[in-house]
């Protein structure tokens, strides 16, 4: 959808450099995704993968590590040859992110391939190391020629509005915007991409997608896991920065955006920015009415007892970092004026589950049951993002029998046939990076406006550090989250 010239011979990248190649992100996400793309035959023959990390290794050590990491992925005999071919692409460069000499070694390693075309630099590292890597790439000339090499930045892009603006200035000193790929893997998920088609290719749906028919929208990203070994990062970031500012705000923009004039990168992102700019600012005195935070205590998940957040390894014993956040936003434009958008995310919830739930208004007159209008079950549209990817709609039908009673039936519009396989989100996005398609990546003004939206909440919670509500691990969050609803008949939708 973007930069079609990148598909011409000689313009595809011939080197893919991973900074932090032995970290958790690379091991669990990037390497499996790259291997699956190899298995699908999506790479050019001359593409090499260069791992940049601190270990005192040589290339053979790296390929042994990669082979072990992909053991399950390559367990089928038919994939052994694919794995062997994949491993021949790897080279290892030992280096420190802050040591410019390490980057000169990287230049020497890349030199034979620099004539063939572009290089992708993937920063699978802590956000605290972003600036050092960017400046050192410039110091050895790996940002040149401008407009050629590509740099991929993982979320979070900054830790608040000011730091995001500083990071962006550093990036733009050394790279053009067209070279920068701010990645949010939720945008690569099939259901999120299919939402564009669902809305804009069906005359049945789009006329209902507005304040006249929709009562409210819920976006939930629930995680059953804890913080694993990320305390060093997470205890500073919390759920608001780690999840809501990026993943959930991106989902909100996809649900709420207007039809773009074309399926091109900037046209899509222009419409998403319009949504973020239309979100009603939250006044300092209104933060309590618009946002709830909480932290998990000990509990039970899938039959196993888990410890509280404050007992997790390397977490401060008196930490008040939020592991759950719920927030309410209003989009003050013609389509959505008055429709609340409820967003929530949390760790140690009952299951891994991401869903967009859209509740429609009640019909104007109740004809079919002798009950108050408020008690009738509303229509819902349910877009499941993970672990299942599906789209469902709940409607009323007549129950069999003489009486005119109704029941709810779920219409399943799942788009995946039994014989079809879909790309993982990272596979989709990595392929887009290689092919130069920026449609599913975040432009800086998107990131900046998302920070502007949550900045009042962030500042208020930074000062208000005396107390944080709690919720039991294995629950759907604190009872306080229910106070965000505008009416008594609005409740959190937890299940499909």
Catalytic residues: 247
Measure the CA–CA gap between 123 and 483, rounded to whole angstroms: 40
> Residues near 34 by Cβ (< 8 Å), separated by ≥ 6?
16, 49, 86, 430
Q: Which of 479, 482, 456 is nearest to 469 (CA)?
A: 479
Give the Cβ contact number of residue 157 at 10 Å: 26
Measure the CA–CA gap between 360 and 290, rounded to whole angstroms: 22
Q: What is the bridge-based pairing of β-strands 299-301 and 180-183?
A: unpaired
Residue 364 tokens read as 């104007």
Q: What is the bridge-based pairing of β-strands 150-154 and 48-53?
A: unpaired
The angle at the Cα of 112, spanning 108 to 115, to the nearest 5 degrees, equals 120
Give the Cβ contact number of residue 406 at 10 Å: 16
Cα distance between the two ends of the chain = 33
Which H helix or E strand runs over 52? strand 48-53
């Amino acid at each position: 959808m973007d930069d079609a010239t990148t598909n011409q011979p000689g313009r595809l990248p011939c080197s893919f450099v991973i900074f932090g190649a032995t970290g958790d992100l690379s091991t669990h996400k990037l390497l499996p995704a790259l291997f699956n793309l190899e298995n699908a035959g999506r790479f050019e023959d001359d593409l090499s993968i260069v791992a940049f990390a601190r270990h005192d290794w040589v290339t053979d050590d790296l390929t042994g590590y990669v082979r072990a990491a992909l053991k399950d992925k390559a367990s089928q005999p038919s994939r052994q040859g694919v794995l062997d071919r994949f491993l021949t692409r790897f080279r290892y460069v030992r280096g420190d992110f802050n040591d410019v000499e390490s980057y000169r070694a990287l230049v020497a390693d890349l030199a034979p391939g620099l004539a063939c075309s572009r290089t992708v630099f993937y920063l699978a590292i802590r956000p605290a190391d972003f600036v050092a890597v960017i400046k050192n790439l410039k110091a050895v000339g790996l940002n040149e020629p401008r407009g050629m090499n590509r740099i991929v930045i993982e979320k979070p892009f900054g830790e608040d509005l000011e730091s995001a603006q500083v990071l962006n200035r550093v990036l733009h000193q050394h790279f053009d915007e067209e070279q920068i790929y701010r990645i949010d893997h939720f945008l690569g998920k099939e259901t999120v991409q299919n939402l564009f088609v669902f809305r804009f290719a069906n005359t049945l749906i789009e006329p209902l997608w507005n304040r006249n028919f929709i009562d409210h929208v819920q976006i939930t990203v629930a995680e059953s896991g804890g913080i694993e070994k990320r305390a060093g990062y997470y205890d500073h970031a919390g759920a608001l920065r780690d999840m809501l500012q990026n993943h959930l705000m991106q989902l909100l923009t996809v649900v709420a955006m207007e039809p773009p004039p074309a399926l091109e990168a900037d046209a899509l992102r222009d419409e998403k920015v319009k949504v973020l700019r239309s979100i009603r600012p939250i006044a300092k005195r209104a933060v309590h009415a618009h946002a709830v935070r909480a932290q998990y205590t000990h509990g039970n998940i899938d039959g196993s007892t888990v410890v509280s957040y404050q007992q997790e390894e390397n977490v401060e014993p008196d930490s008040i970092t939020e592991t759950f956040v719920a927030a309410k936003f209003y989009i003050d434009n013609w389509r959505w004026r008055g429709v609340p958008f409820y967003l929530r995310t949390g760790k140690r919830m009952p299951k891994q589950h991401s869903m967009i739930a859209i509740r429609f208004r009640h019909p104007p007159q109740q004809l079919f049951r002798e009950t108050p209008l408020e008690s009738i079950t509303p229509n819902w549209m349910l877009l499941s993002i993970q672990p299942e990817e599906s789209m469902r709609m709940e409607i009323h039908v007549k129950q069999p029998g003489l009486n005119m009673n109704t029941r709810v039936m779920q219409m399943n519009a799942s788009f995946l046939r039994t014989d079809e396989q879909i790309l993982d989100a990272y596979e989709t996005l990595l392929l887009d990076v290689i092919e130069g398609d920026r449609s599913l990546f975040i432009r800086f003004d998107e990131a900046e406006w998302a920070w502007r939206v949550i900045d009042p909440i962030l500042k208020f919670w930074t000062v208000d550090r005396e107390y944080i509500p709690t919720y039991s691990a294995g629950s759907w969050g604190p009872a306080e989250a229910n106070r965000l609803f505008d009416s008594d008949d609005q409740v959190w939708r937890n299940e499909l």
